[in-house]
């Protein structure tokens, strides 16, 4: 398996736009948009203090997302950046549930047409 894609670091790259595609389920939300750097698509993880008061929970939520993303890497499109946003119930999920839900969400996003990056 190759290396994971780069992560999104800049705040403005996390901000949602009208043209973003999104897929949601109980444990997380995924947003996708055309990447600004073709051939170097990135992903970002969000677990806010508002959603998870304790750092240990924020870290766990992000770790779970990372594992599920890695498991479903083949479903990530090379010309899209993805932002994964953890929701509170993610902490109650098992590994298999998460992997299955992630695959479903990414497959759904793959079918959606995306606006080109500005």
Mean pLDDT estimate for the chain: 90
Q: How many CA atoms lie within 13 A of 23 on its CB side?
A: 17
Structure tokens at 64: 């779970």
The answer to whether residue 114 scores a pLDDT higher than 70 is no
The answer to whether residue 96 scores a pLDDT higher than 90 is yes
Q: How confident is the model at residue 116 (pLDDT cuts 50, 70, 90)?
A: low
The answer to whether residue 46 scores a pLDDT higher than 90 is yes
Residue located via tokens 């497959």? 107
Closest CA to 103 of 43, 42, 34, 25: 25
Q: What is the pLDDT of residue 38?
A: 77
Taking the C-alpha atoms of residue 45 and residue 8, their distance in angstroms, rounded to an integer, is 8
Q: pTM to 2 decimals?
A: 0.89
Structure tokens at 82: 């993805």
Angle between helices 55-71 and 95-111 (to 10 degrees): 60
């Amino acid at each position: 398996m190759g290396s994971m894609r780069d992560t999104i670091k800049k705040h403005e790259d996390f901000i949602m736009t009208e043209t973003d595609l999104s897929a949601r389920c109980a444990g997380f939300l995924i947003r996708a948009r055309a990447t600004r750097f073709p051939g170097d698509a990135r992903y970002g993880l969000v677990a806010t203090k508002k959603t998870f008061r304790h750092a240990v929970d924020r870290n766990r939520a992000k770790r779970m997302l990372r594992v599920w993303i890695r498991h479903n890497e083949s479903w990530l499109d090379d010309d899209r950046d993805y932002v994964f946003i953890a929701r509170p119930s993610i902490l109650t999920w098992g590994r298999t549930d998460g992997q299955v839900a992630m695959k479903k969400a990414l497959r759904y996003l793959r079918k959606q047409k995306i606006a080109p990056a500005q």
